[in-house]
């Protein structure tokens, strides 16, 4: 179990023991594809604003971490000097190291479990641009498939993975495709399709899926898919299934989609409640759920990526929630909005902007 420092050009002996001896890209790739060990951590630092790494082959880790000792790749700001960076050194936005894949993929072909990627940006034209295998974590990352000549999806994950606070875009194809896992607090947009489920038991929570010309969420025949507190805007079909059953669809806004929801066969085992449907033509095979709203959700400025709710939105405090006689004693009550915005018209409120809560 060791800690390594990585910069694009490297420094000193390029062994990674300190920033003065940082690995370069070639040394980093050799390490992760060779004698990396469970519990190893790679702190990755750009050398200038927006700087990063250019792949010269597929970046394919070959050794698994463990449930108690995952292997982590953590992007930090270019100003970072701490040999063991702290949370305030973690990069976000355009400070995140940029990995330019071109015709190569970051994690492509990976068969190693328990890898974590934090605070990275990845672009490329291959399928997928970014890949995480079983029991992985992808946190605060952005991936964009920039292929403009052939449909290529952007991100692939496998069983048991967690995808949190990420952004995914595919110029011509799907943004995310994967198996059992959790997708939460992500922005998936400007793709042919947003999220595709390849297995049962996928949780999609507090995500914004916007401007996906074909599908927002594709459930197909999968069961036990749960979609909660999402905002799905300006997609061909908001949520699509064929015979997928035992799903839970609660507190979602589906607005300005050609078709709000589409099932080829009505599936009563699915549970729909407290959803807002607006400016959609139909809901094929989907009965209206409990306490649905069919009115303008009053999104503030969705054409400019602002999906907060206006003060007169019917979705404020209208979501499924603990209330008196439904889980709480008299005199106690919580408030939950429909959609991803849970801050009652105060843009940018709550949460931490620069520090994240993973224990090292």
**DSSP character string of 17-74:** SSGGG-B-HHHHHHHHTTT--TT-EEEE--SSTT-EEE-SS-B---S---SSS-EEEE
Residues 73 and 46: beta-carbon distance below 8 Å: no
- Confirm whether 132 is domain-assigned: yes
Confidence bin at 285 (pLDDT 50/70/90):
confident
Give the side-chain half-sphere CA count within 13 A for 168: 38
Give the side-chain half-sphere CA count within 13 A for 48: 1
94 phi, psi to nearest 5 deg: -75, -5
End-to-end CA distance of the chain: 13
Give the side-chain half-sphere CA count within 13 A for 216: 30
Domains held by the chain: number? 1
Beta bridge partners of 44: 6, 75
CATH of the domain at 284: 2.160.20.10
Helix residue ranges per DSSP H, the chain? 25-32
Give the side-chain half-sphere CA count within 13 A for 264: 8
Q: Give the whole-angstrom CA distance, residue 137 versus residue 32.
A: 17
- Confirm whether 357 is domain-assigned: no
**DSSP assigned state of 106:** B
Q: Give the whole-angstrom CA distance, residue 182 versus residue 144.
A: 20
- Confirm whether 318 is domain-assigned: no
Helix/strand/coil for 183: strand
227 phi, psi to nearest 5 deg: -120, 115
Q: Give the whole-angstrom CA distance, residue 110 versus residue 106.
A: 9
Confidence bin at 356 (pLDDT 50/70/90):
very low
- Confirm whether 347 is domain-assigned: no
- Confirm whether 355 is domain-assigned: no
The pLDDT value recorded for residue 108 is 77
Cis status, amide bond into 347, omega within 30 of 0: no
Q: What angle do CA 108, 211, 337 make, to 5 degrees?
A: 105
pLDDT in tens, 69-90: 999 999 999 999 999 999 999 9
Mean pLDDT along residues 59-77 = 94
- Domain holding 115, by residue range, is 3-312
Residues 319 and 337: beta-carbon distance below 8 Å: yes
- Confirm whether 264 is domain-assigned: yes
The pLDDT value recorded for residue 199 is 83
Confidence bin at 254 (pLDDT 50/70/90):
very high
Model confidence, pTM: 0.92
Distance of CA 221 to the CA centre of its chain: 22
pLDDT in tens, 296-355: 999 999 999 999 999 999 999 999 887 766 666 666 667 899 999 988 766 554 444 444
Rg of the chain over Cα atoms, rounded to whole angstroms, equals 21
The pLDDT value recorded for residue 352 is 47
Give me 177's structure tokens.
């495709």
pLDDT, mean over the chain? 89
- Confirm whether 152 is domain-assigned: yes
The pLDDT value recorded for residue 357 is 43
Beta strand 181-184 with 3-6 is unpaired
């Amino acid at each position: 179990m060791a800690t390594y420092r990585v910069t694009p050009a490297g420094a000193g002996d390029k062994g990674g023991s300190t920033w003065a001896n940082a690995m370069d890209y070639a040394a980093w790739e050799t390490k992760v594809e060779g004698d990396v060990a469970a519990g190893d951590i790679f702190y990755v630092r750009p050398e200038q604003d927006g700087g990063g790494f250019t792949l010269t082959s597929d970046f394919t880790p070959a050794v698994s971490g463990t449930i108690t000792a995952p292997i982590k790749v953590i992007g930090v700001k270019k100003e970072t000097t701490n040999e063991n960076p702290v949370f305030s050194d973690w990069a976000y936005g355009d400070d995140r190291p940029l990995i330019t894949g071109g015709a190569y993929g970051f994690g492509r072909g990976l068969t190693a479990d328990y890898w974590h990627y934090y605070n990275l940006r990845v672009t490329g034209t291959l399928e997928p641009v970014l890949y995480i295998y079983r029991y992985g974590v992808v946190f605060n990352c952005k991936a964009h498939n920039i292929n403009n000549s052939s449909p290529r999806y952007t991100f692939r994950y496998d069983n048991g993975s967690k995808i949190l606070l990420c952004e995914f875009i595919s110029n011509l194809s799907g943004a995310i495709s994967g198996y059992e896992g959790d997708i939460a607090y992500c922005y998936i947009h400007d793709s042919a399709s947003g999220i595709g489920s390849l297995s049962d038991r996928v949780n999609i929570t507090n995500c914004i899926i916007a401007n996906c010309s074909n599908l927002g969420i594709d459930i197909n025949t999968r069961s036990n898919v749960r979609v909660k507190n999402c905002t799905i805007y300006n997609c061909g079909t908001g949520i699509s299934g064929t015979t997928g059953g035992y799903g839970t669809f609660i507190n979602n806004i589906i607005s300005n989609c050609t078709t709000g929801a589409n099932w080829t066969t009505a599936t009563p085992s699915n549970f729909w409640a407290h959803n807002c449907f607006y400016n959609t033509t139909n809901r094929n095979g989907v009965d209206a759920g409990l306490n649905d709203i069919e009115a303008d959700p009053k999104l503030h400025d969705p054409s400019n990526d602002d999906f907060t709710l206006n003060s007169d939105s019917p979705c404020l405090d209208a979501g499924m929630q603990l209330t008196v006689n439904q889980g709480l004693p008299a005199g106690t009550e919580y408030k939950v909005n429909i959609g991803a915005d849970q801050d009652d018209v105060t843009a940018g409120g709550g949460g931490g902007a620069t520090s994240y809560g993973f224990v090292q």
